[in-house]
Chains A and B, each alone.
Chain A
Amino acid sequence: MDFRSSEPVAGPRLEDALPATAAAAVKVVIVGGFGVGKTTLVGSVSEIRPLTTEETMTQAGVGVDDTAGVERKTSTTVAMDFGRISINEELVLYLFGTPGQQRFWFLWRGLFEGALGAVVLVDTRRLEVSFDVIGRLEERGVPFVVAVNSFPDAPEHSLEELREALDLPGSVPLVVCDARRRDSSRDVLMTLMRYLHSLAVTPEAS
């Protein structure tokens, strides 16, 4: 914050620059409750260290989040961590991790518009957080898959039990992952992409 002069020093490190050929970008949203591992998942597959962007929510968000210590009554700042994967020389995939326990992220203009789809990251110790998230994605017609982040001390559930508890339609993929592991997080994204592929081939399946 010492560079508030006419020469702000800001921008990506050289190694974080995209190739000049990068022509288009797509986004996937990772949603889930606080502490479920969204940023961990984003960080494990991202080619850049996760960055944080924020938006100031006004009006509709007022009064919803009483616990954040918001000093201004008309606005609330919502932060979102994101990462990036260069798919090829032209195409870039961005992963946005959003705080699922808040309602604000659905108000975040442009977050879900144009998103390929979403990953709902679930902690079996706090399943209830996911109900709201899943319901809202369904309402908005955002295609999603559900990934259970396996925590060592989490109770063991079969996927069938979890599917029932989450009231998930049989068509929605449900997988277990370890968000700390790059290959596991990558597989979650693959699950979403294969699901999107199946929807694109047979649109009526959605």
Chain B
Amino acid sequence: MAKYVANRLFAMLITLWIIVTITFFLMHAIPGSPFNQERNTSEAVQRNLEAHYHLNEPVFVQYFIYLKSLATLDFGPSIKQSSTSVNEMIGRGFPVSAELGMLSLAIAVISGVILGIFAALKHNGTIDYIAMTFAVIGISVPNFIMATLLIQQLAVNWEIFPVATWSSPMHMVLPAVALATGPMAIIARLTRSSMIEVLNQDYILTAKAKGMSTYQIVIKHAMRNALLPVITILGTLVAGVLTGSFVIEKIFAIPGMGKYFINGINDRDYPVIMGTTVFYSAFLIMMLFIVDIAYGILDPRIKLHKRGN
């Protein structure tokens, strides 16, 4: 176990380093410096600015400067908003995004699992068909369209929820639901198929023969095994929620990390793009790692050190 964790941590570092390297050289492959655009600066000011951001150094030197600052968790300054650093942006944006992400993941997991279980219990019945049609629609409708529909109906026409921004729990409902529909549909489908498989096993039959109620069988026996596949895709779902939050935050004008990332892209603010990308990637890799470990603990059939062969 300890050896496996150590191996995985090492692999994570390698992956992260590769991401940093790719991101860095991609960003520096773009011709021109961030300062030779609309601003009218004199030659001297230009040179001073470039020197301040180490832009006058060879690319490789810049690369090592960047790696060094990353090692101390310093993502560097923003070029376009010179008063704020990328660290400050992450510090301000991440709690908001995390709140939104956790909320929608919770919605997705809870409602997806419930939907999937009911569909499996009524396999090939009406509830099954309704739930699964619902799920396919959930997968098919992109979240930005779902968000707009929700705003149009629930916020503009019926005025139940506020249209945008992020201040009270009521403000959180629509964006969280819009972000949750896709993952919810995926979870519902997965839960259903693994639940059907589990319900057909002998030990469930035994439980039924003992006279247990359906409720007890599902909660006590079936769910444990049926939810294992759901845990495996949780890592991927976190990635989906995270990228999905870019558009959701844009639509609902939520001051999260996605906003800074998108603004960074629109402004071509390279340190911001690099910093947020590296942060997102590190976060995602961390989540995948946690999911893997959790899976190994929850499923005794899996021996951690043997995985991947």
* A and B bind: no
